[in-house]
Chain A
Amino acid sequence: MLRCDDYYLPATLDEAFDLIERFPGEHRIIAGGTDLLPWAREGRAGDVHIPVLIDISRVAEMRGQKAQDGRIRLGANTTFAEFLKDPFLKRHLPVMAHAAIWFADDQLRAAATLAGNLVNGSPAGDGIPPMVAMEGSVVLESRKDGKRHTRTVPVADFIQGPGKTLLEPGELMTAIECDDMEGWGSAFEKVGHRRSLVISTCCVAALVKVDWATRRFADVRLAIGAVGPVPCRAKELEQSLIGQPVTAETIRSLSDRTAGFVRSRSRQEYRRKVLASFVERALGDALDELGIAPVSQPVHGEERLHA
């Protein structure tokens, strides 16, 4: 049960900083709220008393999205639902729609923000691998002695470990920036124990660009989540694909080089097995989105599974 004594809905960043200064050490920032309330329950944090909740979901400066200099800037109040609906976001960040459809359900997506997902820093956060893949960075703002300070930190550095980030007390994540991926093929693979409201056991975000003249990989982004303390980018795998022909054999050839990414302590063997196939499948689906579906040969040994 979460208990609080006061609840504020600042309309501007300055109002938010006013409140942060007014209630040092007594407040907690809330955006979508979809993580905070389930956390304050039996079996997790139990009964929790937070004197002041500062709800930043109506801060004007944290809304909206725009493209600038090959990057996309997302206001921190961008929700997962927007990635499924907003034509601008679907065009420039296609992989986010694929990740969003796997995120919780319609109703949680309508409240939960990508920024909240990053601030939480869960190893299984669905929004993180795509952001890592897209060279995402977070904009962190604070106010000291009436002066605003802004710093920009790559997502890959921002998330330090399960639930651990570089966010300082008094700091707000006000925006997220990442590469503009318009025209890339993209995919998001995820497995848990069901198909909705599902927590990831393993997930992969893939983005591909193809040189149409040679039918070779022009550029590739791959990031892996839920199999280690923090989601991570698979740069070596990306590099090894660039310039290679777009075939099922090429993408399948990566499968014996993925095991090293699995660093979580539980279900290691399972995660290794899944990841080996997921990288291929994610690349295949990303290519499929571009209209190139490499034809797959039967998987080794599978045809003899039948007694």
Chain B
Amino acid sequence: MPKITIQTTVNGRSVSKDVDPSLRLLDFLREELYLTGAKEGCGAGECGTCSVFVDGVLMKSCLMPAGKAQGTTIETVEGLAERNRLTVLQQAFHKTGASQCGYCIPGMVMAATSCLRGNPHASLDEIKEHLGGNICRCTGYSKIFEAVELARDVLNGSVPATALQEDAFKDSFLGANVRRLDAPSKVTGALKYAGDMTMPGMLHLQVLRSPHAHARIVSLDTSEAERMPGVEAVVTSADVPGVDGYGVFIHDQPVLARGKVRFVGDAVAAIAAETVAQARDALEKIKVVYEELPAVFDAEEAMKPGAPLVHEGNTDNICQHIPIRKGNIEDGFAKADVILEETFRTQRVEHAYLEPEAGLAYVEPDGTVTIHSPSQNITHHRHMLAHILAMPINKVRMIMSPVGGGFGGKEDMIYQGILALAAIKSRRPVRYVFTREESILVSAKRHPFVMRLRMGLTKDGRITATHMHSISDGGAYALSTPGVMRKHCILGAGPYEIDNVRIDAYGIYTNNTPSGAFRTFGAMQSLFATESMMDMAAEKLGLDPFEIRRINAMRDGAVTHTQQKLGSVSMLQVLDTLEKGSRWQPGVPNGRGATRDDLGGPGTRAPCTLGVRLRDTSDVAAE
């Protein structure tokens, strides 16, 4: 392999290395220097997890060929502070709770450092502009802004350094703002996520994925791939010794395609090789003959008789139907003075945790198969994997590596089985790190829903009946679809006591990207419909939005839509707190924005107009 010599200064140390010219600066830092603080969140300059200083200028190291770094001086997150110490900014992140999963944090710390180095008096709006290239999926940025403002004020001397100290402990640790114990490891880049881990003799896994949404695998020939340089193991479904299938509720997904692919991106075969590049080269030598099958891409179409079956053996494509029945909706609608009806639609949403899926698997000396991965459900994964591997459950060991964001998306065992098979077959440690594109392609999405909602109310605002009929595209495999339908239904009619409720949700198999668990598990969709309609009803009945919700709110001892009697219910307290806290001006929600007086007060930001630094006249004057 050709090499180029890179000479740089990294964190104050002179470095000279002969490296593959294909390396990016990010790879050079991570793989050659083991500086894994900079992460690869997207590889395309769109997320900022890889930000480092090059000659004092902040750069996205995933966009810089290592060759470009020739002769430069590089500073990474590991170089900001002395060992076991934190910079003022890092301390501020610790103080405010600015790190959650931590995966964006090294890049965020770098961007904030760059901002304050450039302007020690940067306004909040200027800070935001400088952080504009760094995505955070956990924090909502609020605590990060707070940290940067705090660090700015400490650094420019406008507040004392004592402001960085932990809040004093009072009577109890419960209710105290104890600083996050894991924050120092996150703000310094010291924490190792699965993709940062290495082991001696470690191989790299890559997966061949289906280009078709629905096809029969006529033949799969891996013989040429097996002979490619660096290849140590080729894995297909033929390597599964046990019962092949996984899923959160229904085990309908094989570790690798078994005779058929059901969505674009379905895993077909995998290769473990000495390098990622060798594994990718070998993937191209796998010969798959597909016979394309009729596919179905729409949930409602998939419900019709005669629609292509996504899972042969099933009688239809209905993965899960959940019914809720309380009272009698016909009676309820008969009592209504107004009846509203509307169809609501929600989209597929990507979890977009900044840490793409990654894992490291190996076989321990006693034969135990061990897998490190950012799995949200190691308990269930161990159960399933033991069946798949036909091994005693105590010989399968799942270790949850630091999770760089999950939101439900890392509950599915979409790659741990492949890793286990590769480690067993190759007898070597095997690591698999998804690219961002691979993560987006194959991980589950938030279920898209079409919801027909009908609500009847009396003149004085009391809901007499709610009828919701929901259809959701669950995609090619069940994953969490049964549970998502359930929660969608249980919570869908909202926090209101309603005598007559009918809700049905259908989760449907299609040949689309699978849908799965995602923060709120189907509830935000049904509540989007219900809460939109509450405002529509309020307008129609001439009621304030808080008022109509208060009229219907569950109270202590309320009976839920699943006929459960509750104890204490905080809904009214919450509504009162919010109405007061938001300075809400009561009124009918009829498009009164132009006439209301409660806009633009405390708690709002100015609209973003970009270019704060251009309007700042101080530097113009200095020119």
Contacts and interface: CB of A to CB of B under 8 A. Distances in A.
B282 to A, nearest CB: 12
Given A2-B22, A3-B277, A107-B60, A42 B132 contact: no
**Among B43, B68, B435: residue with most chain A CB under 10 A:** B68
Chain B interface extent, by class: 35 or more
B585 interface: no
B590 interface: yes
Interface stretch (B151-159, B423-431, B453-461, B610-618): B610-618
B397 to A, nearest CB: 32
B129 A34 contact: no
B130 A55 contact: no
A64 B168 CA distance: 55
B592 interface: yes
Interface in B52-73: 57-60, 62-68, 70
A196 B614 contact: no
Contact of B132 (A9, A105, A306): A105
A30 interface: yes
Interface in B426-457: 435, 437-438, 441
Contact of B22 (A4, A303, A307): A4
Interface in A1-30: 1-9, 30
Contacts of B611: 97-98, 101
A197 interface: yes
A41 B437 contact: yes
Contact of B65 (A30, A84, A108, A305): A30
A307 B58 contact: no
Interface residues of A, number: 45
* SS of A interface (majority): mixed
Contacts of A196: 129, 132-133
Nearest to A50: B22
A306 B133 contact: no
A111 B59 contact: yes
B171 interface: no
A6 B66 CA distance: 11
A306 B44 contact: no
B435 A55 contact: no
A87 interface: yes
Contacts of A1: 22, 276-277, 280
A71 B60 CA distance: 33
Contacts of B114: 106
B24 A37 contact: yes
B68 A55 contact: yes
A307 B24 contact: no
Contacts, number: 133
Interface string B523-564: 000000000000000010000000000000000000000000
A163 B121 CA distance: 42
B221 interface: no
A7 B435 CA distance: 24
Interface string A39-51: 0011100010000
Contacts of A6: 2, 4, 21
B63 A34 contact: yes
Interface in A88-103: 90-91, 97-98, 101-102
Contact of B613 (A84, A303, A307): A84
Given A4-B22, A41-B44, A33 B2 contact: no
Contacts of A4: 21-22, 65
Given A41-B435, A196-B133, A3 B22 contact: yes
Contacts of B435: 41-42
B132 A106 contact: yes
B58 A110 contact: yes
Contacts of A32: 63
B133 A87 contact: no
* SS of B interface (majority): mixed
A57 interface: yes
Contacts of A205: none
B280 A5 contact: no
Interface string B1-14: 01010000000000
Contact of A53 (B67, B133, B590, B614): B67
Given A30-B65, A111-B59, A306 B592 contact: yes
Contacts of A9: 67-68, 70
Contacts of B132: 105-106, 195-197
Interface in B65-111: 65-68, 70, 111
B591 interface: yes
Contacts of A43: 437
Nearest to A5: B2
A100 to B, nearest CB: 9
A4 B608 CA distance: 41
B51 interface: yes
Interface in A289-307: 303, 305-307
Contacts of B70: 9
A41 B590 CA distance: 48
A38 interface: yes
B618 to A, nearest CB: 13
B48 interface: yes
A107 B280 contact: no
B45 interface: yes
A218 interface: no
A104 interface: yes
B68 A197 contact: no
B312 interface: no
B46 interface: yes
B167 to A, nearest CB: 32
B594 interface: yes
A271 B539 CA distance: 33
A28 to B, nearest CB: 11
Contacts of B613: 84, 101
A80 to B, nearest CB: 12
A1 B59 CA distance: 19
B602 interface: no
A306 B593 contact: yes
B623 interface: yes
A91 B614 CA distance: 12
Interface of A: 1-9, 30, 32-34, 37-38, 41-43, 47, 53, 55, 57, 81, 84, 87, 90-91, 97-98, 101-102, 104-108, 110-111, 195-197, 303, 305-307
Given A7-B4, A33-B68, A303-B594, 20 more contacts: A1-B276, A1-B277, A2-B65, A6-B21, A7-B21, A30-B65, A33-B63, A38-B45, A41-B43, A53-B65, A90-B620, A104-B133, A106-B111, A107-B45, A107-B48, A108-B63, A108-B133, A110-B59, A111-B60, A111-B64
8 contacts: A2-B65, A4-B21, A30-B65, A42-B441, A55-B67, A90-B620, A303-B594, A306-B591
